[in-house]
Amino acid sequence: MISDTSKRSSKGEIEDLIRARYSLIWVTSPEETRVEESLKKLCVEREMRLEVWSITEGFKVIANGQGTRDVKDPMKALDHVLRGEGRALYVLRDFHPFLKEPAVVRRLRDAATELRKTKKSLIVLSPLSKFPPELEKSISAIVDWDLPTRQEVEQAARKLLPNAPPATQQLVESDPTYMENVVEAALGLTLVEAENVFAKAMVRTHTFDLETILEEKKQIIRKSGLLEYYEHREEFSDVGGMDTLKDWLVKRRNAFSSRARDFGLPLPKGILLIGVPGTGKSLTAKAVGALWQMPLLRLDVGKIFAGLVGSSEENIRTVIKTAEAVAPAILWIDELEKGFSGTGSSGQTDGGTTSRVFGSFITWLQEKTTPVFVIATANNVHQLPPELLRKGRFDEIFFCDLPDREDRRSIIDIHIRKKKRDPGQFDMEKLIDATVDYSGAEIEQAVVAALYDAFDTGNDLSSDGLLHTLKEIVPLAITMREQIDTMREWARTRARLSSSRGRGTQQKPQGGWMAKYGATKGGLGDKAGENTGDDGERKLEL
């Protein structure tokens, strides 16, 4: 199950759930105070009593009423909820440790059924969504609380303003884009993290120094262990060849602006780049960040399942939540097949976790309304679940083949220039002839090796030196001939070529790709969002 991906805020979502008489709601957030503040507002608006429970303090009424109730025992706390009168919302803080007790679980399940007949709802507020499977059917919804909005982050920054020297204060007043950039830099953090980052920048530089803020954000995002905030190191001009793919991307560089929305353009969802190793798929993903001037978050799919941090389901939600908070942003999923292979009918050894996580992911991919552009890269097409390749998931699937003559010309040119040499001094035609079936990565490797040789022998980088090192590299295309042909055949009908010229050397593989690799039909449904649908009297408030 995935959090709301539309523009509806978490507060709005809770309101809908309460009106729909969802009795037991699980809210996941590390930001207890922020969540409770929002719930308080909601309860004031809806004239509901809000009671918050913790093991140390028992119950405390914090909206529409007052008073405390000294019930620290979790079982008694649930009794208190059941006995409560009128319209009320109860929040249990950090209740998950008590769910190890079978009796508490039982009482909570009974409470969920009972409460449905009343005008009371119960929220379990926890930094984790960790509950025993018996409870799964009783929890009517899981809400992943949004990270702070731009307004909230701006408020946090402005709170610090009185501490700033007059020059900084003036800057904030006179240049509206200054604050916009500061806020942007801190998006994706919790409110406390944002406050800390601002404070640190202020102490260090007496301003909201963007570099300090971004550096801290990078650290914090990396600490989550799932995402990496990527620097714009690669320029778009570093990518050689692939004109079709590049045109597609250039055409969409303003596609996230409100001007594009007003014009009637849909929000681009994402692309999948598949193809031969070393042809620049990862490089393109990195370069799009610079082209579109958008933050690039790299997801390590393997880590979602590694079990080092959180549960897999929670991890994918964290990733989506962070990307949506940073949005407009690019979510780069490198080597997609490494995480999502085995979601089909075979190789399921994890009790369906991979399938569920994958289901959540594709549902989000298809339905998301936030400006998060997904670039997924893969080179093993037959490990990808077929559902992922269905229409509507990605805007386009591009196949990155080995570079043809012209593409090699530009790749050789790029790598010679990168070494601060003049490509005009090289015998380009010979080099192009010598690099048939070499990937961009192999061309780069040859340039680097030739540079070493030159340095060692006291010469400069030359065509001859390059031709020599090229001979020593056996391109993957030789050892992977069959796989590459199979991939080309696959791509012929399912993907667009990243380069307009293409190579057009498709041969029909024996028995066809589908037969060979047993691409599964139907494998897994979009199970995300499935509901439990048990009966019981409900009083909807419409």
Ligand X SMILES: Nc1ncnc2c1ncn2[C@@H]1O[C@H](COP(=O)(O)OP(=O)(O)OP(=O)(O)O)[C@@H](O)[C@H]1O
Binding positions for ligand X, rule: CB under 6 A: 239-242, 277-283, 377, 379, 411, 414, 440-441, 444
Number of residues that bind Mg ion (CB under 5 A): 2
Closest separation between CB of residue 246 and ligand X, Å? 10
Q: How many residues does the chain have?
A: 542
Q: Which is nearer to Mg ion, 38 or 282 (CB)?
A: 282
| Alpha-helical runs (H) found in 327-439 | 336-340, 353-367, 405-418, 428-434
Closest separation between CB of residue 403 and ligand X, Å? 6
Closest separation between CB of residue 277 and ligand X, Å? 3
Report yes or no: 408 and 435 within 8 Å, Cβ to Cβ.
yes
If contact means CB under 5 to 8 A according to the sort of partner, which of Mg ion, ligand X, none does residue 28 touch?
none
Q: Which is nearer to ligand X, 39 or 283 (CB)?
A: 283
Give the Cα separation of 143 and 121 in Å (integer): 14
Report yes or no: 406 and 500 within 8 Å, Cβ to Cβ.
no
If contact means CB under 5 to 8 A according to the sort of partner, which of ligand X, Mg ion, none does residue 277 touch?
ligand X
Among the candidate windows 101-109, 199-207, 273-281, 336-344, which touches Mg ion by CB under 5 A?
A: 273-281
If contact means CB under 5 to 8 A according to the sort of partner, which of Mg ion, ligand X, none does residue 148 touch?
none
Q: What DSSP string describes 134-154?
A: HHHTT--EEEEPPPPPHHHHH
Tokens for 291, please give them.
């082209």
Q: Could you say which DSSP state residue 351 is in? A: T
Residue showing the smallest CB distance to ligand X in the complex = 440
Q: Which is nearer to Mg ion, 93 or 281 (CB)?
A: 281
Closest separation between CB of residue 199 and ligand X, Å? 38
Report yes or no: 450 and 442 within 8 Å, Cβ to Cβ.
no
Q: Could you say which DSSP state residue 207 is in? A: S
If contact means CB under 5 to 8 A according to the sort of partner, which of ligand X, Mg ion, none does residue 440 touch?
ligand X
Give the Cα separation of 530 and 144 in Å (integer): 16
Closest separation between CB of residue 278 and ligand X, Å? 5
Closest separation between CB of residue 336 and ligand X, Å? 11
| Residue 31: count of CB within 10 angstroms of its CB | 19
Q: Look-up: residue for tokens 């390059």?
A: 466
Q: Which is nearer to ligand X, 51 or 444 (CB)?
A: 444
Tokens for 514, please give them.
């589908």
Q: Which is nearer to ligand X, 48 or 283 (CB)?
A: 283
Tokens for 479, please give them.
């050892």
Q: Which is nearer to ligand X, 89 or 299 (CB)?
A: 299
Tokens for 66, please give them.
């007052």
Closest separation between CB of residue 445 and ligand X, Å? 8
Give the Cα separation of 412 and 130 in Å (integer): 52
Does 483 bind Mg ion (CB under 5 A)? Our answer is no
Which position among 28, 282, 318, 483 is part of the footprint of Mg ion (CB under 5 A)? Answer: 282
Q: Which is nearer to ligand X, 58 or 403 (CB)?
A: 403
Give the Cα separation of 174 and 167 in Å (integer): 10
Kindly list the residues in this chain that would bind Mg ion in the complex (CB under 5 A): 281-282
